[in-house]
A = this chain, B = another copy of it.
């Protein structure tokens, strides 16, 4: 028997063995730390699905163990933990880390940016993945799109908002570039992880909160304290979740495992977005039935926020070369893509939504 035949025979026989036998001696073990608690299952399920798929694709030779926020790494410590190789990989959103560099925000999405689908076109076919990877490689991280929430809600407010004036002095939980935009309009923003927001809102240390959308927000119980639920969440018009892998860990991985990671991340992306749409659709009906007051943001607030957002981008382009490098192609792409979406996609949507 030639050596090649022996190897092929060994692999084939291995295929027929129960996974558990292989699982006792994995060749690769990764810890996957999430920025989210297990209770937010649309987010955390992605980590569990990913882990299961990697096990299936490698017959248990590569194992991924998911950990919720705080189990081994704090919610907002995921980026540093992956960057420093404290853990092999993590699940988070780049918008939490704009304190390091505002340019990071382009990876998850920025205020008045693209919809989830447009963001995906930019990432996979428009150079977005390459641009964000170049930036993240400086932090020793390789990023993969891992999910999206779609356009988020504008959040929960104790009092009805009549105009831009009502935002002055408001203490609001909001992270990322959106927090800088709202600060320019008089808001006092705070970045608080999921597990601590309800208490802050209930005790009155914040006046309002934006989190994600109906499903997650209902889990966190915000409707028990604030009755006015506003839209649209223009600062998170799409919020791409990412899988962050330590760059040295990634580069040491055999090609077959690399492909497994990439493809399992694709599945996570599509199924997370689908799960958000399906579950938000049901949750919004429950919230309305409970007496939640759905409201659209006042026009003067939307217009002022739009103007301040692009002023902020222009300032940041001058101050931050990393921001400028991504912003310029991103902005042109966004504009051209939205011009195209206005044609068949939006004209169809406008017609058919008018019938509902």
Contact = CB atoms under 8 A, between A and B. Distances in A.
Interface of A: 4, 6-17, 21-22, 25, 27, 53, 56-59, 61, 112, 115-118, 120-126, 150-154, 213, 231-234, 237, 254-256, 259-260, 262-264, 266-267, 269-271, 273-275, 277-282, 284-285, 294, 296, 302, 306, 335-353, 355-356
B277 A348 contact: no
Nearest to A123: B274
Given A7-B17, A355-B306, A117 B349 contact: no
Number of copies: 2
A103 to B, nearest CB: 21
A339 B356 contact: yes
A4 B338 CA distance: 56
A260 B124 CA distance: 20
A151 to B, nearest CB: 4
A218 to B, nearest CB: 14
A346 B345 contact: no
B348 A232 contact: yes
16 contacts: A7-B10, A58-B256, A117-B150, A120-B277, A124-B274, A126-B278, A231-B343, A232-B343, A233-B344, A233-B348, A237-B352, A269-B270, A281-B337, A294-B343, A335-B356, A350-B350
10 closest A-B pairs by CB? A10-B10, A125-B278, A121-B277, A232-B348, A124-B274, A263-B263, A231-B344, A56-B259, A281-B340, A266-B267
Contacts of A124: 270-271, 274-275
Given A125-B271, A259-B56, A266-B267, A344 B17 contact: no
A239 B281 CA distance: 22
A75 B255 CA distance: 34
Contacts of A273: 117, 120-121
A347 B117 contact: no
A259 B355 contact: no
Nearest to A337: B281
A186 B8 CA distance: 62
A122 B263 CA distance: 21
Contacts of A237: 348, 352
Contact of A15 (B254, B277, B302, B351): B254
A92 B27 CA distance: 39
Contacts of A254: 15-16
A263 B57 contact: yes
B115 A345 contact: yes
A347 B339 CA distance: 17
Best-surrounded residue of A12, A271, A274 (most CB of chain B within 10 A): A274
A86 B151 CA distance: 45
Contact of A267 (B117, B120, B262): B262
Contacts of A118: 277
Nearest to A119: B274
